[in-house]
Amino acid sequence: MGNSMTRKEMIDKLSKAIKDKSLVKKYLMAKYFSYLERRREGKKFLENNLQTSVKTLIKMMQCVIWAKNKYFGIPTGKSPEDFWVYMEIIYELQPDIIIEIGNFMGGSTLALAHILDNIGKGRIIGLDINHNDVPLTVKKHPRIRLITGDACELFPTVRDLITTGEKVLIIEDSSHTYKNTINVLRTYNSLVSKGSYFIVEDTIVNHGLDFPGEFLSGGPYEAVETFMKENDNFIIDRSREKFIITWNPRGYLKKIK
């Protein structure tokens, strides 16, 4: 009886998941990460990995980044190497506004706000289709303004929040599909200030880290390639990939004119 109930629950969950594509995606991702976690077992420390290929190491790191990284107790999907580079860019630029597209639970948003706190200026505009899981610590931070909705649809609202002459930095970290990333790049590039950056995250998808499904036909990396062919206001600043290990290969776009 107990078993049949559990089976029924599982079947109900599965049928719900099949109707709801986002649940299917979450299920597949969870399976993928538990597979990576299993592979990592027994190879936890540096001394066990001196002969491990970078490609395998990146997979192992991805597992930890996505499943275990936290900022001030809040889950965040940032690679530590890249976040260090963000800190350096932000310190150099001293931006008035950081637009973070894709906030997830807000860990990265809070981390960016804390950098601005230390600099003593600037604000964050955080865009996501869902802010339900963002804790109050993030929502109430005085430098953070979260706006819920599709990033491209929100463009007019975001544009109206920026005063001419303000220094703007953009970090795109939303759905990572080719279509959405190229739309975000085309829609938002005019807001980036000269000398500042449009950082496109997770260009590592299928360019270092293999991803199944919809990403096989293109993701952020390919979107950047398309964008760079049609827009000569930006260069790819590869000096920002100084740790070699980066989740954003060819993803640091610097506006030069």
Ligand X SMILES: C[S@@+](CC[C@H](N)C(=O)[O-])C[C@H]1O[C@@H](n2cnc3c(N)ncnc32)[C@H](O)[C@@H]1O
> Binding residues for ligand X, per CB under 6 A?
76-78, 101-104, 107-108, 127-130, 150-151, 173-175, 180
Contacts of 150 (CB under 8 A, 6+ apart): 129
Q: How far is the CB of 146 from ligand X (least distance, A)?
A: 11
Secondary structure letter of residue 98 according to DSSP: E
Residue nearest to ligand X (CB): 102
* H runs (alpha helix) in the chain: 2-19, 21-40, 54-68, 80-93, 107-119, 136-139, 155-160, 178-188, 220-230
Secondary structure letter of residue 185 according to DSSP: H
Query: Alpha-carbon distance 120 to 40, whole Å?
Result: 41
Q: How far is the CB of 103 from ligand X (least distance, A)?
A: 6
Compare residues 130 and 157 and give the one whose CB is closer to ligand X. Answer: 130
Compare residues 52 and 150 and give the one whose CB is closer to ligand X. Answer: 150
Compare residues 127 and 200 and give the one whose CB is closer to ligand X. Answer: 127
The angle at the Cα of 103, spanning 74 to 186, to the nearest 5 degrees, equals 160
Compare residues 7 and 31 and give the one whose CB is closer to ligand X. Answer: 31
Q: How far is the CB of 128 from ligand X (least distance, A)?
A: 4
Inter-residue contact 121 to 97 (CB < 8 Å): no
Compare residues 22 and 48 and give the one whose CB is closer to ligand X. Answer: 22
Distances 31 to 13, 114, 202 between C-alpha atoms, Å: 15, 33, 20
Q: How far is the CB of 245 from ligand X (least distance, A)?
A: 17
Q: How far is the CB of 72 from ligand X (least distance, A)?
A: 12
